[in-house]
Amino acid sequence: MRIERLQLRLLRLPLVHFFETSFERVYNRTFIVVIVTADGEDGVGECVADQTPYYSSETAATAWHVIKDFIAPAILGRTFERASEIFPALRAIRGHNMAKAAVEMAIWDAEARQLGVPLSRLLGGTRLRIESGVSVGIQDSYEQLADKIADELAAGYRRIKIKIKPGWDVDAVRVVRERFGAVPLMVDANAAYSLQDADHLAALDRFDLMMIEQPLDYDDVHDHATLQRALRTAICLDESIHTPKIAREAIESSACRVINIKPGRLGGHRESIRVHDIAAAHGVPVWHGGMLESGIGRAHNIHLASLPNFTLPGDIAASRRYYAPDLIDPPIEVRPDGTIPVPDGPGIGVHIDWDRVRHATLETYDVRA
Ligand code: OSB
Ligand code: MG
């Protein structure tokens, strides 16, 4: 595959409902869509870097800069046998996994389209549908939280994750348990606590949660191992796991019993598969996270989540929870049984509505070999 052309589009889309984590409340998403042309075939990827550096150090602006000034020159005009060669070819660029992932994933899409196969086949996926869960943000009141969860359960979702932060944690979980009983439930703290909160977090143990996601610092492994020894509830790491090496260290030091895989955080599909395989070899289950992607990124996620060790429901939900309309038509829908079928057309297998993409575009960049 000769990499012939790379296009960037900076888009802004309003969210259907605001989304609040321990670090911020957002009402819209500003993100980059990448289109790579290889041997005459276009592939599309979405960059999950946000406007703010609060989830990770990358932002849409840093990703734009790194793709334009470093990634594009490193791959344009070069020939690769497979998309799996892209991440290693970018080794000289340290970090910037979200920027790398957007380009790498577009090239996986292009390769799958050239071969005329669904992306899931190329990635090694084994399932035809994936199990879907939802991530419910911090709300204005516990009543609003309970109302949202009631809607999600009625739609069929197979597990509920609620965001927590100091002041919105044990009581929020209690409200959910009292109202909804033994539904599969977990919490995500997005790094809002420290080891000094260990006793407070242990108060969550009696609610029989599936796991607590990233309670401690965004780059921490060691303190999570200490905390895991003090908790009955399983720890899942998200932010901390940005390389396969750290995934191995986290598993071997028992800092977590579950891993959240997000290809944006890891640098794309290749590195995600490596983390998936390391976890599988250690008997550690993984699930697929989400970053409020449009249908483009969401479609990539669905294909990746079809690999065998994604044994827990992920944060991959229907388009209508995020964007109305989505950038893809038809949108992604969840079946009443809480599953999403893996698209079976070539590549990511969804139809992009380019008029909607153009309408949401703030800025473009286009470069050829
Ligand atoms: O920590 O998983 C997270 C969204 C933005 C940033 C970080 C996270 C999230 C989510 C939302 O939890 C998942 C989704 O529905 O896309
Ligand atoms: Mg998370």
14-40: per-residue pLDDT in tens?
A: 999 999 999 999 999 999 999 999 999
What is the extent of the structural domain holding 90?
3-116+350-368
Q: Which atom of ligand 1 is nearest to the CA of 262?
A: 2
State the CATH number of the domain containing residue 65. 3.30.390.10
135-192: per-residue pLDDT in tens?
A: 999 999 999 999 999 999 999 999 999 999 999 999 999 999 999 999 999 999 999 9
Q: Which atom of ligand 1 is nearest to the CA of 322?
A: 15
Q: Are residues 306 and 354 in the same domain?
A: no
Q: What is the pLDDT along the chain (369 residues), one digit of tens a residue?
A: 999 999 999 999 999 999 999 999 999 999 999 999 999 999 999 999 999 999 999 999 999 999 999 999 999 999 999 999 999 999 999 999 999 999 999 999 999 999 999 999 999 999 999 999 999 999 999 999 999 999 999 999 999 999 999 999 999 999 999 999 999 999 999 999 999 999 999 999 999 999 999 999 999 999 999 999 999 999 999 999 999 999 999 999 999 999 999 999 999 999 999 999 999 999 999 999 999 999 999 999 999 999 999 999 999 999 999 999 999 999 999 999 999 999 999 999 999 999 999 999 999 999 999
Q: Among 165, 107, 156, which Cα is nearest to 132's? A: 156
- Which one of 292, 298, 304 would you pick to mutate in the ligand 1 pocket, going by the greatest count of ligand atoms within 8 A of its CB? 292
User: Which residues make Cβ contacts (< 8 Å) with residue 313, sequence separation at least 6?
Assistant: 131, 132, 133, 157, 158, 159, 184, 287, 338
Our answer on whether the CB atom of 55 is closer than 6 Å to any ligand 1 atom is yes
Q: The tokens of 291 are what?
A: 């970053």
Q: How far is CA 209 from CA 195, 311, 328, 356, in A?
A: 19, 17, 34, 40
Q: Structural domain tally of the chain?
A: 2
Q: Are residues 100 and 136 in the same domain?
A: no
Q: Are residues 138 and 285 in the same domain?
A: yes
Q: Are residues 218 and 180 in the same domain?
A: yes
- Asked if residue 209 lies in contact with residue 232, where contact means CB atoms within 8 angstroms, the answer is no
* Residue 262 among the catalytic residues: yes
